[in-house]
Amino acid sequence: MKIQIHSNIENFSGLPEEHFKSLWDIMPMSFAQMGACTLEEFNEEHIEMARRLREADIPNRTLQAITHAYEVLKTHGHTLFPETLHVAVLVSSGKVWMHNELNHGFTGFGGIPGFIVLILSPTDYVIERLEAHVVNELIERFGDPIKTSIQESHQNVKNWSKEKWNSSNQEFNSLCKELTNLLNLAKNPASKEVQALISKHYAWLKKFWIPTKDSYIGHTQLILESDLRKAYETYHPNLPTFLANGIKVFANKHLI
């Protein structure tokens, strides 16, 4: 399953309607009707809202939460996933009473396979509990046992402070730089040097969920084919493939 995040938090340029046309064919709504800010409404208040959501790393955290939930679903034998999951992460207009008062700044919809819509205001409720809300939209139709497993996978991070998230991001950054250095040196993904870093990558990932042999190998599909690829391509265009090959070697040798 490819995961594509369509966010107007980083660069407000309107709403990603073109990717959700088939959703609106099924459900006669629109982002604006659901409470998302339109280009015409965008003002200084929304600029500040978007800034605070960026500061909380909302788009990346959304991607990570969905990725981890997807991996847990696969380990429980679920195979019926859409080819592409389109996820809209949008700034709220701030005009919907239910969104502001009852839902504390969060509006989510994940009832149609292939689509998740998240409309957000930068409240403490949203920023502190984002992962739980995002996962709920993905797994609502999979039943209580799966919900429990995924909730457990987020138990270790649900109370993370901003400092701890920053520390995790720095660890990821350092790891990618070290891998890139070995890639530039034309090291084999199966080499001791690369495998030592893959071990670090596995340990970093375990803070979020516990990969098995199959799920860690399956994670390479996301690295290669979803928006997660962009996070690694920032360091080197070939890093996703280099990392994926290293993961396959590590998983086959060390995991069950």
Per-residue pLDDT tens for 37-88? Answer: 998 888 999 999 999 999 999 999 999 888 888 877 776 556 667 788 999 9
Rounded CA-CA distance 115/143 in Å is 18
pTM higher than the cut 0.75:
no
The last residue of a domain, from among 153, 174, 208? 153
First to last CA, the chain: 23
The last residue of a domain, from among 153, 174, 198? 153
Structure tokens at 215: 């799920």
User: Where in the sequence is the domain holding 212, given as residue range(s)?
Assistant: 162-254
* Amino acid residing at 174: S
For the chain, how big is the Rg over CA atoms in Å? 19
175 and 236 inside one domain: yes
Laid out side by side, the sheet with 2-7 consists of 2-7, 84-91, 115-120, 106-109
185 and 139 inside one domain: no
pLDDT classification of 14: cutoffs 50, 70, 90: confident
Distance of CA 78 to the CA centre of its chain: 19
Three-state DSSP class for residue 92: strand
Count of domains forming the chain: 2
The total of other beta-carbon atoms located within 10 Å of residue 113's CB is 11
The total of other beta-carbon atoms located within 10 Å of residue 154's CB is 18
Tell me the residue ranges of DSSP E strands in the chain.
2-7, 84-91, 106-109, 115-120
What pLDDT does residue 141 have? Answer: 52
45 and 139 inside one domain: yes
17 and 84 inside one domain: yes
Indicate the average pLDDT of the chain: 86
